[in-house]
Structure 1
């Protein structure tokens, strides 16, 4: 079968590898679509999976169909459609993973849509329903509002009755954010968005900031918050803001680092929260935005596009 392997940092190769065999508790899946994520950039740079020897199978997210199951697997059967948010080696024609990593995929959800909402959708769900449960009337500042997480996060905030101020880097991305439901959009590349966010929130500042844009936006996000506002920081690939003096934090704000895995910390939570995303999609309340779709052999191009921050929507790979 074909797969994309990382032989050393930045050393991607597309080629033939043996088809894996599922062990006890595992499932072999034929990959229909693989999702591209910032986590994959971190793996490629050598930031993550340090304990894993080279070559490393790239990718973690996708949708497809069960080919075979290992001993003891009773929740899935050959031929069944499934999706997953974390299955290392997903940039491949086939991937093997624990059955506990899979969710059943309803017939009403196609493979591309499913692969577009697993990692980003569960991340957005965590941010807006658990880390900071948005309430009607809340005002949220969403960074990278035209990205995979930002577009889904905007929709979930709106579902919960919140107002969205989206920050994007270009006018073309601003239009995408508006179409998805952002109430206000700030076009900014210099980190000078805080004043506009405070003005758009009636002079008080926003209730919550969702910031995965790296250290350059950290201070502006602090400045955009109202008294007792919440700062949801995420995205390890771009790095953190450095050492903080907690006594210097302004306005009694609450600051935390949100990790999507904590939202789906058991198989039961993974399946329940994925099912909620799928139901929102079936009801027409959540619409994944697919950006560009590449052949699996062009994985390096897709990663470069994401890393440049030029892309909008979800990037996908097709084996």
Structure 2
């Protein structure tokens, strides 16, 4: 890990002719004893950090002290939180000094063995089964690239759940498909009749609006700072790619397109390619919005 800090300090912060002196310090925050896979990670540092990371991904800064990141649902080994702070930029006669820390936290991972079998109608399964594997693989790669990162700065809008309705399937709940394959639910399913208006959970730019095999009609919004939201199984799409949307603006109508048992909204939040609990995101934003 020291090698990583050394490279980070010498390449990212200083000219090539400067070699930084790394001083390993105690983490400037109180690490939790354990986190759950899929969790949003909120860190309140006791001092401003120049860079902070979760498993190598640079965390998103909400302010000087608060940083956000996430851990994958499938992350079944200790999570590393690390960071660096320049304490002396040096001179021609002295080396720059960088304080660095790294801490590992145990991760509790849900069990797929407890997966509930989805009751997908035969007419729906025929449209989304393994006969469409090649197309699904293409679409997964398209989405992976879209959600990997964001070049936009974080948009500090106050996120809200798109619907005030019953949660019919929780985030990270284990599921089993008719073909026997199991997976973790990567979003939150909210009860919604076909035709229910679906608003954006936060301000951002539409980066995808179209149809895919499993998601059905889907809209993806880039909120900056590596955060994205997805709205799946829509009956209609109300926005276009490159549209700038406000929190609460309609992006589509609820429906039952794609791989579904019945009409509902699948709402998903992604941080730099990592799916995280949408309700924890809205809770994190509420702290900043005074709610």
Question: What is the TM-score when the length of structure 2 is the normalising length?
Answer: 0.28
Please identify which structure carries the higher helix content: 1
Q: TM-score if structure 1 supplies the norm length?
A: 0.26
Whose strand fraction is larger, Structure 1's or Structure 2's? Answer: 2
